[in-house]
Amino acid sequence: MLAAVHGQPWNASQLGQSLGVSYHTVNRHLDFLEGAFLCRRLPPWHGNIGKRLVKKPKVYWRDSGLLHALLGIAAMDDLLVRPWVGASWEGFVIEQIIMALSHRDVPYTPFFLRTSDQREIDLAIEFGRRRWAFEIKLSSQPTPRDMEQLVATASLIDAEKCFLVTQTPDVIDGGAKVACDLAWLLAHLETTPL
């Protein structure tokens, strides 16, 4: 059941009700999976931005291969037709970004932002008082509107840099606004002063 809520806001009560156990039991199981480095709870942004915010963390399986096995996916063709393939890609990219940053000896805090009117940043990273925003799309054809929405939402948290991470190999590096694929982003994170 936990694989089915990958990339969704955590609702222990709803999951517990489906399983016939208390939300305390469900939370303890998630605590165990998180402690074993199998799952990640991505906390929500808690700052004051003048909008109602989603306050529940999102839950991701840290290993997308394990997620796909739990969901019974045996082949790439089967994966690509699933309605949750975007959430799988999002979780994979988030984990790759966080792992790349963990190798840099720089303190950071990951979080996500979702407002009640459905404006969202899939991943934001805070380096002290500086913030970067990441929007993750499975698409190989991002639109200018995708970047406009990211920049507008990132302004809510005063992000100084925005990354639109897609499947396209075409990189558009506008300094504060970057559209790129995951490989370029990971190489950029390895070499950019943070």
**Domain range enclosing 186:** 2-191
Q: What is the mean pLDDT of the chain?
A: 92
**C-alpha to C-alpha distance for 7 and 67, rounded to whole angstroms:** 11
Higher-scoring residue by pLDDT: 72, 49: 72
Confidence of residue 115 (pLDDT cuts 50, 70, 90): confident
Question: For the whole model, what pTM was predicted?
Answer: 0.92
Instruction: Say whether pLDDT at 193 is over 90.
Output: no
Task: Give the pLDDT score at 82.
Answer: 85
Domain count within the chain? 1
| 159, 131 contact by CB (below 8 A) | yes
Cβ neighbors of 21 (< 8 A, separation 6 or more) are: none
Listed residue (32, 94, 34) closest to 64, CA to CA:
94
Instruction: Say whether pLDDT at 145 is over 90.
Output: yes
Task: Give the pLDDT score at 113.
Answer: 94
Instruction: Find the range with the poorest average confidence among 77-81, 90-94, 181-185.
Output: 77-81
Average pLDDT over residues 161-180: 94
Task: Give the pLDDT score at 192.
Answer: 86
Task: Give the pLDDT score at 48.
Answer: 66
Task: Give the pLDDT score at 53.
Answer: 77
Task: Give the pLDDT score at 46.
Answer: 81
